[in-house]
Amino acid sequence: MAVSLTRRSIGWQRWNRFGPIRTLYTDLDFVPEKLSEDVKIHSARSQTTLTMNQLLQLKGVPFAQFLHKELPVRLARRVVELENLPYGLSAMPSVQKVHSWYESTFEELRSTPLPSNANDTERFKVALEKVLTRHNDVVPTLAKGLIELKKTLGVSEEKIVDRCPFLQDFLDRFFLARIGIRTLIGQYVAVHSDRPGFIGLFEKDCKVRSVIEYAADDAGLICSRQYGVRPEVVIKGTLDLHLTYMPGHIHHICFELIKNSMRAIVENPKFKSQGVFPAVEIVIAEGEDDIAIKISDQGGGIPRNDMRKIFGYAYTTVKDPPDITSGTSQPQLAGLTHVPMAGYGYGLPLSRIYSHVFGGDLIILSMHGYGTDAYLYLNKLHQSTEIVPR
């Protein structure tokens, strides 16, 4: 399904040590001829973003009608983007697989009549549940696409991403868009399933400390399985902090950060020899507009030279990385038994994207020779608008 980019010269060209990078599209003004007219039209339309408050109020027919209009626009943009990746990445079998999922979902939604009554909204929910399942494995499948490209080009996928800033940007944009789409669909499905204490995916009274404790337990389980020991986790600060938020997103990020801290502590030769490990220290703080969670460890930190790499996709210091394609990257789906302690190189970049969805951020500071501090900021205000990529 990939279209040769050399057929038409548009945008700008880059050159690096792999040779000429094929023409890159800097925006969506141009779309290849092979795409259906409908995809072209939708990819050119503006996306509509909602504030958290607006999202929390949507239900029933208006919500279904909003998604019926909005999802094809967002999906079409991704279809176009998947057609236009540099180095011939678009032609890799796994990227084409992801492309075919996005295209099928786009076509399915476009052939669904506009929902206009309660029966339609129920049918729409069933259709969207199937969409969620179809797209479950987008992350490992795209990662597999990078591995296929690595074999074709004969360089490591980490180096491909490192040397091509466009690829890093593409993956950031693509995953941000994916989380946005899944949040909208997940919210629709969940809001029509009436879970007590929740408005869709949002827990009305989400206790931040409990979510962190769950994440610490999950990370600790994997750590014990891998190393036979697990550092303690101490939580301080505003322990009674609660807000309306998606616990799933907080869990995902904290789980990844705690896993990283535990690995650094347990692998630090300073403690390994004694068998006594310092705790991972977590502080929860509440500001006027946001909440902050700091996760600190004494795992030895990260060399300054490596700091620019840690948010790069596929960057890992695990010597013999596990195969990301052998399972799903979503612990909640796969169960923790399939999640390795480290090695995919997707933990930090994806966590940062999760933090960005409603305007938050993730910052890592390190003192090499001592330890690492991760600062997670989440917007408290429900006026904060969903961030979507172009």
Nearer to Mg ion, 42 or 252 (CB): 252
148 is catalytic: no
* Smaller CB separation from ligand ATP, 41 or 307: 307
- Residue from 140, 347, 359, 360 touching Mg ion (CB under 5 A): that is 347
The alpha carbon of residue 19 and the mean position of all alpha carbons in its chain are separated, in whole angstroms, by 30
- Our finding on whether 175 is near ligand ATP (CB under 6 A) is no
Residue whose beta carbon is closest to Mg ion: 347
Told to check if 260 binds ligand ATP by CB under 6 A, we report yes
Residue of 148, 256, 281, 386 marked active site? 256
Phi/psi of residue 202, each to 5°? -90, 125
Q: Which H or E element spans position 320?
A: none
Biggest alpha carbon distance in the chain?
67
Among 95, 98, 342, 376, binds Mg ion (CB under 5 A): 342
- Specify whether 379 is catalytic: no
In which order are the strands placed within the sheet that holds 233-237?
233-237, 280-286, 290-297, 371-379, 361-367
- Looking up tokens 């050119």 gives 44
Q: Which does 344 bind (CB under 5 to 8 A by kind): Mg ion, ligand ATP, none?
A: ligand ATP
Out of ligand ATP, Mg ion, none, what residue 271 binds, judged by CB under 5 to 8 A for its kind, is none
**Are residues 10 and 24 in contact, defined by beta-carbon separation less than 8 angstroms?**
no
User: For residues 239 and 236, what is the distance between their CA atoms, to the nearest angstrom?
Assistant: 6
Nearer to Mg ion, 347 or 389 (CB): 347
Question: Among Mg ion, ligand ATP, none, what does residue 293 contact (CB within 5–8 Å per kind)?
Answer: none
Please report, as residue ranges, which positions from 304 to 363 form the binding site for ligand ATP (by CB under 6 A): 310, 315-318, 340, 342-348
Give the one entry of Mg ion, ligand ATP, none that residue 346 binds, where binding means its C-beta sits below a cut-off of 5 to 8 angstroms depending on kind: ligand ATP
Known active-site residue 368: no
Residues with Cβ < 8 Å from 295, sequence gap 6 or more?
Answer: 254, 257, 258, 261, 280, 281, 282, 373, 374, 376
**Terminal alpha carbon distance of the chain:** 23
The smaller minimum CB distance to Mg ion, of residues 211 and 258, is found at 258
Choose between 52 and 258: whose C-beta lies nearer to ligand ATP.
258
Of the candidates 84, 260, 268, 379, the residue annotated as catalytic is 260
Provide the minimum distance between the beta carbon of 11 and ligand ATP in the complex, in angstroms, as a whole number: 30
Judged by CB under 5 A, the chain residues 249 through 308 that form the site for Mg ion are 260
Contact letters (x/-) for ligand ATP, 264-303, by CB under 6 A?
A: x--------------------------------x-x--x-
Contact 210, 245 (CB under 8 A): no
Q: Is 256 a catalytic residue?
A: yes
Output the CA–CA distances (angstroms, integers) from residue 298 to 94, 274, 276, 278, 302, in the order listed.
39, 15, 12, 7, 11
Q: Residue 374: left if φ>0, alpha if ψ -120 to 50, beta else—which one?
A: beta
Among residues 237 and 321, whose Cβ is nearest to ligand ATP? Answer: 321
In this structure, the chain runs to a length of 390
Report the C-alpha gap between 105 and 76 in whole angstroms: 10
Rounded Cα gap, residues 136 and 244, in angstroms: 25
By a kind-dependent CB cut-off of 5 to 8 A, residue 3 interacts, out of Mg ion, ligand ATP, none, with none
Write out the catalytic residue numbers: 252, 256, 259-260
Binding region for Mg ion (CB under 5 A): 260, 342, 347
Binding region for ligand ATP (CB under 6 A): 256, 260-261, 264, 297, 299, 302, 310, 315-318, 340, 342-348, 372
